[in-house]
């Protein structure tokens, strides 16, 4: 299986090359030139397997330049050894006869990014080795919260890698900050930036493209790479859990193999729902993919009208991991839906860059709407959904999952929904304890600490607090550095021991 770029179909690279380089030189994203098929017979066979074995079977269809042993080693390293607190890795929980939650937050950081970021370090080191590089890989991350911690945890103590995370001093939640500054591991570094997420992001981009720094690294036998969600190595692991959820429904006789189901996905960068689209294209019987947004509803408008327009007010919401106006993974969908038209994709992305908007044609709009349903809700509705799901289904949603639950509620109300829907549950509710508590009680959360909010939420709901979050209170703080954006390059070299 070869990979090409969304902006230049002439490019052909192996999976290892695509993963090792992260992004194509033309600025496009790598994607497989064709989509492997999964027959109903294949799916039935997968039903009898564990999550890890299902992962090996799916990944080997995409990573054809990896040996079976290599894939098994990567999968075991990611999901084995008690790293996930559920033996099923991504368990399916029944909410009612027609509604299930696919819990993607049983990994070390209690959010869905772990599903990909626990596997990516293994895929990346294997890919770098395959491309015959003997260099140490240096992962630089600018984060607004969840990605930084998940990347730190995934890359900690992985051989031949160093990871450095920059976060905005005032721009992450208290829980997210604590998770990062207490991170263990010999090869990890964390630094706060005076400024916002854009400052951190721009600083990292400047380091990536600085020729002097690049050659300094080269002289020291090191090279940069990215753990960002545009890396194919983050998308492939996400296809697995959609197939696995379907198998679980078949195994428990909720559906018969071949019956169609819906997936409802709380969406930000479009990575998670794009993986579901891949599963559908492979042959997994999926009816609709429901794309759920918060008040930053740029995708809702795009799916309804065919115009993507990021020129709009940016809202800070209680579902911060979806506060995004440029959904970068959409580029892969555009490429596939336009019939692999790299010229068109390039033109749209140029328009997005220069005017902040672009429009697709009627034919593509109807293709898009054939697969995708969309909806959005604001913070008030999100809290209502947390309340409703807990009262009616005894299920405690985090703020992101609640956006999906609310969107499905709107869709199902129209009487259109008789088939089983699976909601992607993307974070443990205790990761956003104040907002969830506020939804369920009259508590004035501004007067209490994060940890008090954990305890109160536990008192009200009886849902256990993950030890991984409650134990943060007593962990040693390892990283208290704060720097200016202009100091980031210097700090990076110092952290790598070059200066
Ligand atoms: C990142 C994230 C999302 C959005 O996923 P995308 O792949 O960016 O669409 C949703 N919920 C949570 C909790 C996340 O961390």
| Ligand 1 centroid, distance to 87 Cα (angstroms) | 23
Residue-wise pLDDT tens digits, 107-119: 999 999 999 999 9
Given this model, what pLDDT does residue 416 score?
Answer: 58
- Cβ distance 250 to 243 under 8 Å? no
Cα–Cα dist 50/43, whole Å: 13
How do strand 482-483 and strand 188-193 relate by DSSP bridges?
Answer: parallel
Question: Which spans in 210-338 are helix H?
Answer: 211-219, 232-251, 271-282, 298-305, 330-337
The C-alpha atoms of residue 495 and residue 389 are separated, in whole angstroms, by 46
Asked if 121 contacts 155 with a C-beta cutoff of 8 angstroms, the reply is yes
Q: What is the pLDDT of residues 222-244, one digit of tens each?
A: 988 888 878 999 999 999 999 99
Is residue 228 helix, strand or coil? coil
The ligand 1 atom at the shortest distance from the C-alpha of residue 427 is 13
In whole angstroms, give the CA distance from residue 468 to residue 446.
24
Tens-place pLDDT, residues 415-464: 556 899 999 999 999 999 999 999 999 889 999 999 999 999 999 999 99
Q: Cα separation of 230 and 375, whole Å?
A: 24
Q: How far is the CA of 370 from the centre of ligand 1 (A)?
A: 23
Q: How far apart are CA 385 and CA 406, in angstroms?
A: 5
- 426 C-alpha to ligand 1 centroid (Å): 7
Residue-wise DSSP of 159-172? TTEEEEEEEETTSS
Question: Is the pLDDT confidence value at 69 over 90?
Answer: yes
User: Is 1:19 a contact under the CB 8 Å cutoff?
Assistant: no
Q: pLDDT tens across 381-403, in order?
A: 999 999 999 999 999 999 999 99
Q: What is the pLDDT of residues 368-378, one digit of tens each?
A: 999 999 999 99
- The model's confidence at residue 414, banded by pLDDT at 50, 70 and 90, is low
> Which atom in ligand 1 lies closest to the alpha carbon of residue 273?
9
Rounded to whole angstroms, the Cα distance separating 172 from 226 reads 21
Distance (Å) from CA 111 to ligand 1 centroid = 8
pLDDT band of residue 171 (cuts 50, 70, 90) is confident
Buried b (16+ CB within 10 A) or exposed e, 26-55: eebbbbbeebbebeeebbeebbeeebbebb
Give the mutation target among 303, 317, 321 for probing the ligand 1 site: most ligand atoms within 8 A of CB: 321
For residue 137, the cross-strand partners are 161, 223
Pocket of ligand 1 (CB under 6 A): 111-113, 146, 266-272, 321-322, 400, 426-427
At 149-168, the pLDDT tens digits run: 999 999 999 989 999 999 98
The atom of ligand 1 lying closest to the CA of 267 is 9
CA of 238 to the centre of ligand 1 (A): 12
The two beta strands, 482-483 and 261-266, are: unpaired
Test site for ligand 1: of 109, 116, 322, most ligand atoms within 8 A of the Cβ:
322
Res. 271: pLDDT tops 60: yes
* 324 CA to centre of ligand 1 in angstroms: 10
Alpha carbon of 316 to those of 144, 202, 320, 321, 323: distances in Å? 12, 20, 7, 10, 6
Model's pTM, two decimal places? 0.94
Take residue 462 and report the two structure tokens written for it. Answer: 């009886």
Nearest ligand 1 atom to the CA of 269 is 8
pLDDT at 214 over 80: yes
CA distance 329 to 235: 9
Chain-centre distance of CA 193, in angstroms?
A: 23
113 is catalytic: yes
CA distance 471 to 423: 29
pLDDT for the residue numbered 259: 97
Q: Which atom of ligand 1 is nearest to the CA of 271?
A: 7
Name every residue whose Cβ is closer than 8 Å to that of residue 490 and which is 6 or more positions away in sequence: 499
Which of 277, 299, 424, 426 is the best mutation target for the ligand 1 pocket, counting ligand atoms within 8 Å of the beta carbon and taking the most? 426
Q: Please identify which of the residues 113, 130, 280, 381 carries the catalytic annotation.
A: 113
């Amino acid at each position: 299986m070869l990979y090409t770029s969304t902006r230049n179909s002439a490019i052909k690279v192996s999976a290892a090359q695509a993963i090792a380089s992260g992004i194509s030189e033309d600025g496009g994203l790598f994607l497989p030139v064709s989509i492997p098929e999964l027959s109903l017979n294949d799916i039935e066979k997968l039903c009898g397997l564990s999550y890890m074995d299902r992962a090996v079977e799916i990944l080997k269809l995409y990573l054809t330049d990896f040996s079976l042993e290599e894939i098994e080693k990567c999968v075991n390293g990611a999901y084995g050894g008690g790293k996930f607190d559920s033996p099923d890795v991504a368990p399916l929980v029944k909410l009612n006869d027609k509604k299930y939650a696919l819990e993607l937050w049983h990994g070390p950081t209690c959010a869905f990014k772990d599903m990909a970021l626990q596997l990516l370090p293994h895929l990346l080191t294997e890919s770098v080795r395959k491309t015959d590089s003997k260099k140490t890989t240096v992962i630089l991350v600018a984060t607004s919260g969840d990605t930084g911690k998940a990347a730190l945890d995934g890359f900690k103590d992985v051989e031949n890698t160093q990871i450095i995370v920059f976060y905005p001093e005032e721009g992450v939640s208290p829980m997210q900050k604590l998770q990062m500054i207490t991170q263990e591991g010999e090869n990890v570094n964390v630094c706060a930036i005076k400024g916002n997420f854009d400052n951190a992001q721009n600083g990292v981009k400047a380091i990536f493209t600085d020729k002097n720094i690049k050659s300094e690294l080269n002289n020291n036998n090191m090279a940069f790479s990215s753990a960002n969600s545009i890396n194919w190595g983050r998308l492939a692991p996400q296809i697995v859990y959609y197939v696995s959820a379907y198998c679980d429904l078949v195994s428990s006789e909720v559906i018969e193999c071949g019956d169609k189901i819906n997936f409802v996905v709380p969406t930000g960068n479009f990575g998670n729902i794009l993986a579901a689209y891949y599963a559908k294209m492979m042959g997994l019987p999926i009816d609709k993919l429901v794309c759920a947004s918060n008040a930053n509803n740029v995708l809702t408008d795009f799916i309804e009208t065919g115009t993507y327009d990021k020129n709009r007010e940016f809202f800070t919401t209680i579902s911060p991991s979806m506060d995004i106006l440029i959904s970068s993974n959409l580029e892969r969908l555009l490429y596939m839906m336009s019939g692999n038209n790299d010229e068109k994709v390039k033109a749209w992305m140029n328009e997005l860059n220069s005017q902040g908007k672009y429009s697709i044609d009627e034919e593509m709009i109807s293709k898009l709407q054939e697969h995708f349903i969309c909806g959005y809700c604001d913070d008030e509705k999100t809290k209502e959904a947390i309340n409703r799901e807990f009262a009616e289904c005894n299920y405690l949603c985090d703020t992101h999952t609640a956006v999906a639950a609310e969107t499905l509620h709107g869709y199902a109300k129209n009487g259109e929904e008789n088939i089983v829907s699976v909601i992607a549950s993307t974070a443990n509710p205790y990761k956003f304890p104040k907002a969830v508590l506020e939804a369920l009680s009259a508590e004035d959360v501004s007067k209490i600490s994060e940890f008090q909010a954990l305890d109160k939420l536990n008192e009200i709901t009886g849902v256990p607090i993950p030890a991984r979050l409650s134990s943060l209170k007593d962990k040693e703080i390892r990283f208290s550095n704060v720097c200016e954006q202009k100091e980031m390059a210097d700090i990076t070299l110092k952290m790598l021991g070059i200066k």
